[in-house]
Chains A and B, each alone.
Chain A
Amino acid sequence: MIFLNNLFAIFRKEFDSYLFSPFFYIIASFFWLVSGFFFWFILSDNIQKVAQLEQQGISVSLDLASEFLNDYFEVIISLLLVLLPALSMGLYTEERKRGTLELLATSPITNWLVALGKLLGVVAVFLVLWSPIIFYQIIAFSASQPPLQPSVVLLANGGLILLSTAILSLGMFISSLTEHSLLAYVLTFILVVFFWSLDLVSNNVGGVFSEILSYLSLFKSYSPFLRGVLQTETICLFLSYIILGIFLTTQSIEAFKK
């Protein structure tokens, strides 16, 4: 009970600290503007293409809705490469800079609880950013003929949230290494791009190594979600990254205190 209470306190502090910072609103307006624009652009582009083909008398056996979902989420993922490191960069750098880590570390709460609370806080902030896109999807997909199965939309969104949580968790670890937010941003960005490029690397090397690399790749593992395929091992992979991020954070804080 006291555990949940403390966890909620950390979560709430983290969540509020974003909502009270002008920085968040800059990020949010940028994200909403760009993601909204692409939603409109890709959707109308796809519809026009199909309409053109139909005008030419070619019958289209294309599932427009799932086609759009694929295209749109690909754009969104590259947007997240830039956005997620910005969300995670301040998680521990600020605590270190302001000396508030000394307060947390001398309170009767564990490092694990602090890290978990912080991660939940920043994920909640991400969900706030993500919520308009869920809203757009509900409107667009409810109007589509044939209707897109809700399970596909649910998996695409759920998977993306898990993927983002994994990146935020690793970003949290990086922010615990330094007191410079900008450095944390750059390092996290490099890490995310590295994960993103694992696909390319794995395509160019052969054998078992390639398989291992492509298994570790966050983004490649995510693609089945877009096709509505639920893979337990992918969920396990995401959860492993999330736990790894939290674990490394606690270790780095423990080491920093010495």
Chain B
Amino acid sequence: MIEVEHLNKIYGTTVAISDVHFSVEEGEILGFLGPNGAGKTTTMRILAGYIPATSGTARIAGYDVHQESMQVRRHIGYLPENPPLYVNMTVEAYLHFVANIKGVAAGERKVAVGNALKRCQLLDKGQVIIRKLSKGYRQRVGLAQAIVHSPPVIILDEPTVGLDPKQIIEVRHLIKSLAGEHTIILSSHILPEVSMTCDRVTIINQGSVVTTDKPENLMSQLTPTTIYKLEVEGEIFSVRSVLQGLDGVAKVEITPRESSNSRFIVHVTASDNRHNLAKDLARIVVTSGLDLYEMIQTTPTLEEVFLKLTTQEFIREE
């Protein structure tokens, strides 16, 4: 339903996105995950036909977003990062207006608006001027305008940003209920959010796609492993290979401690969480004649792993 290939967008000398590629099947929800400034909004805007790509192709429902923009626009509903609301209109008048310019026939508009109000739980707010609505309600009106013409493809840019936890859950349910009959692509910088809502997740960082996978695979790929931090004194480099050879050790990093010539900080990353390496590590260090000053065992959170994944330190191990 959505095919994106080798998409590039360059503003002057700044590369906003480079070689972005992914595809979304009909009825699927794809999460677009990345830190702020990763190129999510740029990609979404290109898909919605708001800005042209510098190079590459994007097709929605078989139509090229640039060449056949009008056809594409008929097939999409789009919620930009800031809901595009005419704040002096009532909710209902606004949705009528959107339905009209999206091409809903005059006779069907009333039903379409009614459905959108119902789906977004706005039935009691129909006659309220948008200016008087809270942020949560405005976001719902934004969602309602994206679905009022029941487009086959819905593009949502950060649909839950700025909402309170209760509203986030409601919006999540709403998005899930739209899947199946609609193909949805939504962006977010919150990992648990996309993993809860989406069938598949594309992680984007600094304008490039890092990986695309199902959330459960991504989770196991990202399952945090324990890191042991040791502070030792002595000839640590001779022990390195012994530590490295230990069953369950993935990586050993040694850095000299600041303001000391003979002390070192050793980071040992476990390959999985089956073994507790603490006692083995301690034994090796001490029996090698080194002095052990400190040992700390840490387990990074999912968020930290995601952060690591989207910063350059991370090297993917295939």
Contacts and interface: CB of A to CB of B under 8 A. Distances in A.
Nearest to B47: A106
Interface in B43-77: 45, 48-52, 70, 73-74, 76
B48 A108 contact: no
B162 interface: no
A109 B80 contact: no
A12 B49 CA distance: 25
Contacts of B78: 102-103, 106
Interface in B88-108: 88-89, 93, 97-98, 100-103, 106
Q: Range of interface residues on chain A? A: 20 to 34
A99 B84 CA distance: 5
Contact of B100 (A9, A17, A20): A9
Nearest to B103: A108
B128 to A, nearest CB: 14
A118 B73 CA distance: 21
A6 B100 contact: yes
A101 B97 CA distance: 14
A45 to B, nearest CB: 42
A103 B100 contact: no
Interface centre among A5, A6, A17, A107 (most CB of B within 10 A): A107
A149 B48 CA distance: 56
B52 to A, nearest CB: 7
Interface in A86-131: 98-110
Contacts of A99: 80, 82-84
Nearest to A109: B101
Contacts of B102: 107-108
A21 interface: yes
Contact of A106 (B52, B76, B82): B76
Interface in B106-125: 106
A106 B50 contact: yes
A130 B51 CA distance: 40
Contacts of B98: 103, 107
Interface residues of B, number: 29
A147 B93 CA distance: 48
Contacts of B49: 105-106
A49 interface: no
Nearest to B11: A258
Contacts of B100: 5-6, 9
B145 A103 contact: yes
Nearest to B76: A106
B196 interface: no
Interface centre among B45, B89, B100, B106 (most CB of A within 10 A): B100
Contact of B97 (A9, A105, A106): A9
B86 A17 contact: yes
A105 B46 CA distance: 12
A104 B50 contact: no
A13 B86 contact: yes
A97 B103 CA distance: 25
A10 interface: yes
A103 B82 CA distance: 11
Given A105-B50, A106-B50, A258-B52, A13 B97 contact: yes
28 contacts: A5-B100, A6-B100, A9-B97, A16-B89, A17-B86, A17-B89, A21-B88, A98-B87, A99-B82, A99-B83, A100-B84, A100-B86, A102-B50, A102-B80, A103-B78, A103-B84, A105-B50, A106-B48, A106-B73, A106-B78, A107-B73, A107-B98, A107-B101, A108-B70, A108-B73, A108-B102, A257-B51, A257-B52
